[in-house]
Amino acid sequence: MLLLRAELVGPVNLVVVRLNSNRLPMEVLVKPYNPSWAVAFDSASELVMNAMGFNAIEACHIGSTAIPNIWAKPIIDMMITVTNIDTVDTCNQAMAKLGYEAKGEFGIPARRYFRKDDKSGKRTHQIHIFPPDSDHVQRHLAFRDFMNAHPKWAIRYSDLKRGLAAKHPHSIADYIAGKDAFIKHVDTIAAKWRRKTTG
């Protein structure tokens, strides 16, 4: 049985969705933007790029922690492009030394996914690795860049996440589903915007 509880802590400080499970106790936090997230990405991505070696092409900060001034789960999402996706599997040991757990494709073909938790078991980093021609690369970058170029859309997204956490205190599925239509709508707009701006 999975039980969730959402709470607003302070007027504008923190939204917490607590998940209680006999098998996997965890806590989902939505916090105000913190500039240290960009610093954390820079330091972590440098280590990951070194672990990937010559196969690595570029590291990009994605997800909500890459969008200033919006609320986000304090989890650093990075996207790495590589020359050969299968070669990534040979780096699992090097990534383990950095504290990352290799999860393979993890539901998305031609992806490699890694995750990292702190000593208390809280998720701190997620890595999505793709070949450079993957549609997922363009989608992630378009969403991030569109949000950064359109603050009003970013605030709408931030408000939506905070509202959903409070509205669905007993259903993480509803919380995620509640963002789905908005994200897909922005994906469509962002893709068109990106084509115009990049030519």
Q: Is residue 93 part of a domain?
A: yes
The b/e string for 131-170 (b: 16+ C-beta within 10 A; e otherwise) is: beebebbbbbbbbbbbbeeeeebbeebbebbbebbeebbe
The b/e string for 79-106 (b: 16+ C-beta within 10 A; e otherwise) is: bbbbeebeebeebbeebeeebbebeeee
How does pLDDT run across 24-69, given as a tens digit for each residue? 334 557 789 999 999 999 999 999 999 999 999 999 999 999 999 9
Look at residue 198 in the predicted model and tell me its pLDDT.
84
Q: State how many domains the chain has.
A: 1
Q: Is residue 193 part of a domain?
A: yes
Encode 102-156 in three state secondary structure. Answer: ECCCCCCCCCEEEEEECCCCCEEEEEEEECCCCHHHHHHHHHHHHHHHCHHHHHH
Q: By C-alpha distance, which of 116, 53, 130, 140 is closest to 86?
A: 130
Q: Is residue 10 part of a domain?
A: no
The CATH number for 44's domain is 3.30.460.10
Q: Is residue 3 part of a domain?
A: no
Q: Is residue 123 part of a domain?
A: yes
User: Which domain covers residue 122, as residue numbers?
Assistant: 32-198
Q: Is residue 53 part of a domain?
A: yes
Q: Is residue 8 part of a domain?
A: no
CA-CA distance, 49 to 118, in Å (whole number)?
Answer: 20
Note the pTM of the prediction, 2 decimals: 0.84
Q: Is residue 16 part of a domain?
A: no
Look at residue 29 in the predicted model and tell me its pLDDT.
72
